[in-house]
Amino acid sequence: MDVRTIGVIGAGQMGHGIAHVLALADYDVLMTDISPSALDQAMTQIEANMGRQLRREIITRGDMEAALRRIRTTHKLADLGPCDLIIESATERESVKRAIFEDLQPHLGPGTILTSNTSSISITRLASGTDRPERFIGFHFMNPAPVMRLVELVRGIATDESTFETCRRVVERLGKTAAPAEDFPGFIVNRILMPMINEAVYTLYEGVGDVLSIDKSMRLGANHPMGPLELADFIGLDTCLAIMNVLHDGLADTKYRPCPLLVKYVEAGWLGRKTGRGFYDYRGDAPVPTR
């Protein structure tokens, strides 16, 4: 299938990042969100991020101007129906995603491929609620999408080979690398990454080290570019908790039990950078550990 138009559902950090990279790869992009202000903010952020790439000479002004012209926005989910490919990047809650696909289904073209940018939810279950499970696949970008080079392509049990190959070609056109993954909780990246973050929170919870010592140890001792608690704040503690719950529920192994301290931070609304506080407090001139 020749993909030319791509719909993006959700204009948050992941959604606008995906729209950004698609437009730079010469795809026509139609982005939607339930919040009109979110769409406006997304376009402002995309222009700012492309401007940063322009200053670093990663793209040219012509690239930027052409890409911005390729992105359109709409408040109506149904408008995405005629797209060749649709990437859902809404809130990481299965009930929300299933409702979106249910509302979208009557408006889809017969050949439209549906994908989800979910980081952990079963592709097979999401696909089973649609009329095209064979044309449904996980299309998991890493955050931030304009920078990170990997995309996990997650086959559900019914995903056919032509759907996989079509999406693999899209990933290649984006200049990224596809990592094929099977549909098990957390897929590849989060199956490995989230337990590490959760264990770092346990290390803090049990008083083995404080926030700074834990992050410093992993940066300097394991050569990680970010410490695990700093990374958790960047991802969002609510997202980390949601993925740990998926791992714990789906694999029924106590080693995936979310740390009580992670639960407590989420209950407090301290979700990381996006709320101004997480394991660090970002409200001042420099981040300060909160524990």
Clarify whether 190 is annotated catalytic.
yes
Secondary structure E strands in the chain: 5-9, 28-32, 71-74, 85-88, 113-116, 136-141, 150-155, 177-182, 280-281, 288-289
Confirm whether 140 is a catalytic residue. yes
13 marked as binding residue? yes
Contact 291, 279 (CB under 8 A): yes
198 annotated as belonging to a binding site for a ligand: no
Q: Which among 117, 190, 198, 230 is annotated as catalytic? A: 190
The pairing of beta strand 280-281 with beta strand 113-116: unpaired
C-alpha 230/C-alpha 21 separation (Å) is 25
Pairing of strands 177-182, 150-155: parallel
Q: Is 119 a residue of the active site?
A: yes
Residue in the block written with tokens 């299933």 = 98
Cα–Cα distance list, 190 to 19, 211, 239, 280 (Å):
23, 22, 11, 22
Which of the following is catalytic: 88, 94, 152, 230?
Answer: 152
The CA distance from 146 to 208, in Å, is: 36
Question: Is there a binding annotation on residue 15?
Answer: yes
Q: What is the CA radius of gyration of the chain?
A: 19
Tokens 């083995």 label which residue? Answer: 208
Q: Is 43 labelled as part of a ligand binding site?
A: no
Please tell me whether 11 is known to bind a ligand.
yes
Q: Which of 119, 120, 122, 198 is catalytic?
A: 119
Beta carbons within 8 Å of 122's beta carbon, 6+ residues apart? 94, 156, 183, 185, 250
148 among annotated binding-site residues: no
Question: Per the structure block, which two tokens stand in for 236?
Answer: 């969002």
* 162 is known to lie in a ligand binding site: no
- The residue from 89, 94, 140, 230 that is catalytic is 140
Instruction: Consult the annotation and say whether 274 binds a ligand.
Output: yes
Task: Report whether 12 belongs to an annotated binding site.
Answer: yes
107 catalytic residue (yes or no): no
d(CA 31, CA 29): 6
Binding site listing for NAD(+): 10-15, 33, 92, 97, 119, 143, 274
Catalytic residue list: 119, 140, 152, 190
Binding site listing: 10-15, 33, 92, 97, 119, 143, 274
